[in-house]
Amino acid sequence: MLAIKFLIFMFAFSILLTRPLLCHIMKKIGIALLSFHLLSGSVCASQWIRVNQEGYLPDDVKVAVWLTDQSVSVSEFQIVSGLTDKVMCNCKVVQQKGAQGPFSNTARLNFSEFKQSGSFYIKAGTVKSPVFRIGNNVYSSAVEVPLKYMRQQRCGFNPFLNDSCHKFDGRIVDHPTRTGEKIDARGGWHDASDYLQYVTTSANAIYQMLFAYSQYPKAFADNYRADGLPGSNGIPDVLDEAKWGLDWLLRMNPDKDTFFNQIADDRDHAGFKLPTNDVVDYGWGKGKDRPVYFCTGQKQGLLKHKNRTTGLASTVGKFASAFSLGADLLANFYPEYSKILKEKSVDAYNKGVEFPGVCQTACCVSPYFYEEDNWTDDMQLAAAQIYKSTGDKKYLKDAVLYGRMEPVTPWMGADSARHYQWYPFVNIGHYQLATQDNPAVKNEFIRNLRSGLERVRERAGDDVFLNGIPFIWCSNNLTVALITQCNLYRRLTGNTEFLEMETAMRDWLFGCNPWGKCMIVGLPSNGDYPLYPHSAFSQLYHYPIDGGLVDGPVYTSIFKNLRGVHLGQEDKYAAFQSDRVVYHDDYADYSTNEPTMDGTASLSYYLAYLASEASSKDSNKRVLGGIIQGDTSKKKIALVFTGHEFADGGKTISKALKKQNIKGSFFLTGDFYRSFPKLAKSLQKDGHYLAPHSDKHILYADWGKRDSTLITREAFRKDLKDNYQAMIQAGVNLPKKLYFLPAYEWYNNDISSWCSELGVQLINFTPGTGSNADYTVPEMKSYKSSEEIYQNILNYEQINTLNGFMLLVHIGTDKRRTDKFYNYLDKLIETLKSKGYEFTPVDKLL
């Protein structure tokens, strides 16, 4: 009753408030919101626009989806600047899609021809979309986010908790002679928000991460040690994570005839708890040993319920492919370890040849298990991977034969499937065979990849989101698989026929879906992502579980018939549910809102691809997300001038630049634009690049503890927007490429990330020359005369070069400094020109 009264009060109160203030208040009191711009369309509105809230690459197929529950339509829309609210483009590429699901009318709004970088939102009808970004670097850091969740899922030593769990794993069960024997099976990852562990999903997760690295090694950073704690160890973090899983697989395969498939069972489902507080008793004491299931090759289940196992190949095939690819990629880091993996891969593959069939996970007190019914795809991938590693054509022949037994992964085009019935959801074995030199083999498996895509596209029909996925449990995993297959096919053939479906499914994961919901926890950081995932970490302890891919929408019939699934709170997305499909951001709905380890790992490939798209167009040097230097292979320099309260050098600098026929870059505060508008307009008229430097010259990060941010996200956004507004009021046009140089030339990851959210790239001067000391006054210990600064620049250049440099000079300084360095500017430019340097503004340098 109190809750209802409170909602009535908030509705009435909202009439008196501006929407931004309402949004702020509601966030402060903990009520989940869609996001400011989604809210500005109104939660109780009758029209909605769905976009990819993470953003778009400039050359993407860019489509938003308009939805309504009214008898209205739209024929045009506008793209509006998220910084200034200026209309940037009027668009009329609208594809009407009619009534669908709970919506009376729908339409696809195509703005692919708009390629300008920045932050924007779309207005159509009576509603506007959330703000989104366009830029080459939109996905540059996204690939690291799923690894956060993988580290949090670690069993044994858990770096997130900095503690160990399940230290007593485990005891063998279902073995003809060794049942009850103690075995060391520690490590690996918890499967989802429960703490079971499966080779089925873990081996696939390992392969997915390794495959991503094999295709795009430069996309991954090295910010964590092998134990998952912060610190570089000279090995990319994705390989550290994959090796954590491989270590566990080796324990689950102690000799060539012994394979274990699973640790624990559904007796684990005894309520929410942290893994370090697990007190489930499997017969050896509370919180003690857990069962380790031996792969019997026969139906399995210790109590009432049993699976439908027919062999070993599906499991041992996954062992083999993970071992083989791991051996190749870890050889340079762990040569002896690599040799062990290589030998193990062949042993596991041979075991699959000997015992064909599926090896399903074991159920116990409930009928739920991974109902994998296919196994030839696992053996195909194993054979293809071992052939790639060894060159032995026997394995290539085997891979082709296995691949012909399942040319298309059966879920593709199907209306439904049992839980994990056809797994893995993407057949990378087809891709491996499609890369072979043999034209017949290559063409056959390219056709197979294409056939699957055609089936999904045909099933999508006239769907406004182009979604032909069957909404089974863990539908988001299928979505990632489809995106991966689309991309692999496009890379193999150059054929862009399925590109729109590929980007539509990517956009689906980032909020372009009926619910406007991003499906990866914490990504994007300012998006409408799951706030109440099914996890003890978040629900009981309010720990962030960033990076976890949640299950995703399911058929309404599945939601209604699963045991124990329900809603723990009011459904904020009720208006978007249908009789066919539902999604709930609710901790109690494990069918749609539980993150899964293998689904998260499967994101690695496509996010690595997107990150590589950024890096392929970026030769700049970065620190904490900010660009500090351009291409070091070219003798180009950008002269960067900053200003806040002093402008005494404006005329001198302008004269020197005009004399030398070069363009500079001026980063000026809002106060500067308000105080010296004529100077700013004059500089832009002369062709110089003008940009913001903070509105009030605010220090954003602590000098002594850089990761300590001194401003809130909301205050920062306002400060930067006010700076841009001051530029407009001064009569200065905003540049097409948005760069920002922070006050005091000091920032941290928060600031660069918040800039990115607004579609602005943070930059800083290139350190080393000491040119920025031109602000010092004689009373300071750090004082440098202009002659010293000049000589320091030339000395640095002689030893290191100034290639790609952003050389900082202040446009004005305190009157106590009578020795103004800007008086040396003409001479400095002349000298550097004689050394072959070309001067260019930052928007061209970067």
Q: Which two tokens stand for residue 574?
A: 């009720």
Position 45 scores a pLDDT of 63
The count of C-alpha atoms lying within 13 angstroms of the C-alpha of 128, restricted to the half-sphere facing its C-beta, is 19
Asked if 13 and 79 sit in the same domain, the reply is: no
Task: Tell me how far apart the alpha carbons of residues 309 and 259 are, in angstroms, rounded to a whole number.
Answer: 14
Mean pLDDT score, 279-283: 94
Alpha-carbon distance of 150 to 228, in angstroms, equals: 10
- Give me the CATH number covering residue 454: 1.50.10.10
Q: Which residue, among 664, 620, 659, has the nearest Cα to 639 in the 3D structure?
A: 664
The answer to whether residue 744 is domain-embedded is yes
Provide CB contacts within 8 A for 255, sequence distance 6+: none
Cβ-contact 380, 427 below 8 angstroms: yes
How far is 310 from 174, CA to CA, in rounded Å?
15
Hey, what are 148's tokens?
């956060």
Report CA torsion sign: 606, 96, 529, 580. Answer: negative
Peptide bond into 424 cis (omega under 30): yes
On whether both 26 and 65 belong to a single domain, the answer is: no
Structural domain ending residue among the three candidates 550, 584, 615: 615
Q: Residue 477 and residue 520: Cα distance in Å, rounded?
A: 11
Q: Give me the pLDDT at residue 618, please.
A: 72
How confident is the model over 551-569, as pLDDT tens digits?
999 999 999 998 888 899 9
Count of domains for the chain: 4
Shared domain for 304 and 440, answered yes or no, is: yes
The helix-helix angle for 597-615 and 475-493 (nearest 10°) equals: 30
CA distances from 290 to 148, 154, 268, 398, 770 (A): 26, 16, 10, 37, 62
Whether 605 and 481 map to the same domain: the answer is yes
Kindly state whether residues 89 and 175 are assigned to the same domain: no
Q: What is the pLDDT of residue 113?
A: 97
Are 218 and 120 within one domain? no
pLDDT band at 155 (very low <50, low <70, confident <90, very high): very high
One domain, residues 357 and 343: yes
Is residue 741 situated within a structural domain? yes
Flag whether 692 is in a domain.
yes
Of 348-357, 495-504, 564-573, the range with the lowest mean pLDDT is 564-573
- State whether residue 262 is helix, strand or coil: strand
- One domain, residues 596 and 653: no
Domain span at residue 764 reads: 621-845
Of the candidates 53, 52, 74, which has an alpha carbon nearest to the alpha carbon of residue 62?
Answer: 52
Residues 6+ apart with CB under 8 A from 578: 101, 102, 514, 556
pLDDT of 29 strictly over 50: no
With cut-offs at 50, 70 and 90, classify the pLDDT of residue 43.
very low
Question: In 10 A of CB 324, how many CB atoms?
Answer: 30
- Residues 533, 661, single domain; the answer is no
Burial of 276 (0-12, 13-18, 19+ CB in 10 A): middle
Tokens of 358: 């599926």
In a domain, 36, yes or no: no
Q: Is the pTM of this model over 0.85?
A: yes
Confirm whether 737 is domain-assigned.
yes
Rounded to an integer, the average pLDDT of 744-751 is: 95
How long, in residues, is the chain? 846
CATH of residue 713 = 3.20.20.370
34-40 average pLDDT score: 36
Which of the listed residues 82, 100, 134 is the one where a domain comes to its end?
134
User: Does any domain span residue 463?
Assistant: yes
**Binning pLDDT at 50, 70 and 90, where does residue 272 land?**
confident
Residue 40 lies in a domain: no
Give the residue from 593, 499, 628 showing the smallest Cα distance to 56: 499
Spatial distance between the Cα atoms of 90 and 78, rounded to a whole number of angstroms: 5
Residue 551 and residue 607 in one domain: yes
* Those residues with Cβ within 8 angstroms of residue 362's Cβ, 6 or more apart along the chain or in another chain: 174, 261, 262, 265, 293, 300, 301, 302, 306, 307, 369
Do the bridges between strand 626-629 and strand 621-623 make them parallel or antiparallel, or are there none, so unpaired?
Answer: antiparallel
Percent residues over pLDDT 70 in the chain? 94
- Mean pLDDT taken over the chain: 93
35 has pLDDT over 70 = no
Burial of 89 (0-12, 13-18, 19+ CB in 10 A): middle
| Distances in whole angstroms, Cα of residue 748 to Cα of each of 45, 137, 437, 703 | 38, 18, 48, 10
CA distance 170 to 738: 56
Asked if residue 587 and residue 695 are part of one domain, the reply reads no
Is 271 contained in some domain?
A: yes
Residues 249-275, mean pLDDT to the nearest whole number: 93
DSSP 3-state of 690:
strand
The residue that leads in pLDDT, 191 or 39, is: 191
* Residue 51 shares a structural domain with residue 23: no
Tokens representing 376?
């030839």
From 615, 647, 663, the end of a domain falls on 615
Query: Residue 18 — very low, low, confident or very high, per pLDDT cuts 50/70/90?
Result: very low
pLDDT band at 617 (very low <50, low <70, confident <90, very high): low
pLDDT of residue 41: 39
Indicate the pLDDT class of residue 614, thresholds 50, 70 and 90.
confident
